[in-house]
Amino acid sequence: MPYIAYRDVAKTRKIKAKDTTIADNTCTFYCKTHGCNARMTLVNGADAERAYFRRIPSGAQHISVFCSADGSFDPTNYEEKKFDFNALFANLKNASSESNRPSKTTGIAVTGGGGKKAISTVQQIYLMCRKYELYNGYCTDDILADERNFAKNEGGIVGRKIVQCTPYHKFKDEFSYRMNYPSFPYPNGKHIKLNFATEELFWHFYKKFKSTNHKELVIVLGEWTIPTEVNNTYMSECTVYKKRQVHFLKFDGGNNGK
């Protein structure tokens, strides 16, 4: 469910879903991806928070996972003011407790049964970042490394981020996996390395990675560093401690209303 499309088949007039009007609800739009013939309609036009584009089912399918990678994020399900990336990061990476607890740093408490939840999963962070440039004061460009900010990240990914990638292969004699950032194939794409806290965790993901195709995106939350050794063949690495640090984003050509 992309948030950007073109008004014309030649793909010269780009339009954001949030900038549409009621009159646009009856228009046909064209997929944002170069070379993709999918045509789109607008859903919830003139509603800046909830508007998005949807593929016309009888027409061409999307050609790339990037066509629909925006997914669907309904902001009315979450309390933006409760989003605290650092607290959430610590929660997802370390604790084994529930992840929906209110943030200590923002001081906003959830009363019993009342109030909306904060974003609490890697998938939700990803979808939020695909939709917003700014969310509760956070610049999402600093949180998510994907194909849209490749130029900024191709020299190395550093710090607490979620990174969009696809599996490549196991590192020889190591319990670690080489990934393509931001996907495969991608012009001048880079390699990154996933380390795993335990052998068991490695094999869990090894099996999953082996069964993916290149159209399935993997989203990894981690503390990313640039390797210190020279001549490394990957630009950044992180360690996975918990299964919930990794999310798989399926691609079905837009058959699922995306």
Residues that bind Zn ion (CB under 5 A): 31, 33, 36, 38, 62, 67
Q: Per the omega criterion (within 30 degrees of 0), is the bond before 182 cis? A: yes
**Shortest Cβ 62–Zn ion spacing (Å):** 3
C-beta closer to Zn ion: residue 58 or 105? 58
**Shortest Cβ 15–Zn ion spacing (Å):** 15
b/e per residue, 157-174, with b = 16+ CB within 10 A? beebbbbbbbbbeeeeee
C-beta closer to Zn ion: residue 70 or 237? 70
How far separated are the first and last CA of the chain, in Å rounded? 4
CB 4 within 8 A of CB 17: yes
Which of helix, strand or coil describes residue 141? helix
C-beta closer to Zn ion: residue 53 or 177? 53
**Shortest Cβ 21–Zn ion spacing (Å):** 23
C-beta closer to Zn ion: residue 171 or 184? 184
Q: Vertex 176, ends 180 and 68: CA angle to 5°?
A: 30
**Shortest Cβ 212–Zn ion spacing (Å):** 20
| 222 backbone dihedrals φ, ψ, rounded to 5° | -165, 170
Helix axes of 122-131 and 85-93: crossing angle, nearest 10 degrees: 150
**Shortest Cβ 2–Zn ion spacing (Å):** 8
Question: In whole angstroms, what is the distance from residue 5 CA to residue 25 CA?
Answer: 13
**Shortest Cβ 157–Zn ion spacing (Å):** 26
Cβ-closest position to Zn ion: 67
Question: The tokens 């292969």 sit on which residue?
Answer: 169
C-beta closer to Zn ion: residue 15 or 36? 36
C-beta closer to Zn ion: residue 67 or 122? 67
